[in-house]
């Protein structure tokens, strides 16, 4: 099953109303990073997850009062191949390299980064946090995004394309920074 099919399945479940749904988050099957996110927002109204056939977590959605927290895994399959290409070169950028370049002041490595930097101009705060092998790219107060706040974690140097992305709606900005700083 490709990542795109997994994400479509996750979005279908996420789009359903979960206020009256029972929680189905299997904490005992979660990695430290996943359970860290869950416990940070506990107690919550509901927590619903989507898992691949192999049992790996694909995504989850937590609702706490009026706040909505979504989380999903992604990799290079989530990006158009042109976004991973470096301008004037046949070398390909990893997804992690794309984020590094997007959040830096260096020249944009390709058109994708140029376009995304325009989107980021309306963001209140953006930055990078590093702890051991985990890198977190955060943006708070994005005006042209479906979720105004996000944190994208890259946590495995051996797999530079794999990331864990969190989106936040109706959440206090200080709480998001607190979660980012608490990363494993």
Q: How far apart are CA 145 and CA 122, in angstroms?
A: 10
The tokens for 148 are: 């105004």
Q: β-pairing, 163-169 with 57-64?
A: unpaired
Percent of the chain, pLDDT > 90? 47
> How much is the pLDDT for 106?
93
3-state secondary structure of 26: coil
> How much is the pLDDT for 71?
94
pLDDT above 70 (res 22) = no
Helix (H) or strand (E) holding 49: strand 46-51
> How much is the pLDDT for 132?
86
**What is the three-state SS of 108-165?**
CCCHHHHHHHHHHCCCCEEEEEEECCEEEEEEECCCCCCCCEEEEEECCCCCCCCEEE
3-state secondary structure of 169: strand
pLDDT category at 163 given cuts 50, 70, 90 is very high
pLDDT category at 61 given cuts 50, 70, 90 is very high
> How much is the pLDDT for 143?
80
pLDDT in tens, 85-97: 987 666 888 999 9
**What is the three-state SS of 51-117?**
ECCCCCEEEEEEEECCEEEEEEEECHHHCCHHHHECCCCCCECCHHHHHHHHCCCCCCCCHHHHHHH
> How much is the pLDDT for 5?
46
pLDDT category at 147 given cuts 50, 70, 90 is confident
Percent of the chain, pLDDT > 70? 85
pLDDT category at 133 given cuts 50, 70, 90 is confident
């Amino acid at each position: 099953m490709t990542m795109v099919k997994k994400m479509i399945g996750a979005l279908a479940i996420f789009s359903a109303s979960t206020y009256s749904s029972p929680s189905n988050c299997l904490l005992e099957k979660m990695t430290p990073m996943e359970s860290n996110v869950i416990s940070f927002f506990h107690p919550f109204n509901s927590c619903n997850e989507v898992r691949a056939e192999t049992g790996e977590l694909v995504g989850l959605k937590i609702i706490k009062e009026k706040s909505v927290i979504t989380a999903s895994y992604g990799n290079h399959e989530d990006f158009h191949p042109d976004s991973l290409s470096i301008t004037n070169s046949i070398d390909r950028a990893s997804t992690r390299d794309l984020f590094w370049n997007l959040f830096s002041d260096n020249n944009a490595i390709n058109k994708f980064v140029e376009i995304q930097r325009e989107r980021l101009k309306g963001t209140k705060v953006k930055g990078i946090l590093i702890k051991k092998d985990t890198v977190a790219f955060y943006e708070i107060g994005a005006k042209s995004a479906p979720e105004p706040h996000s944190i994208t974690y890259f946590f495995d140097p051996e797999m530079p394309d794999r990331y864990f992305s969190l989106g936040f709606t109706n959440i206090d900005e200080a709480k998001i920074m607190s979660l980012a700083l608490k990363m494993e």
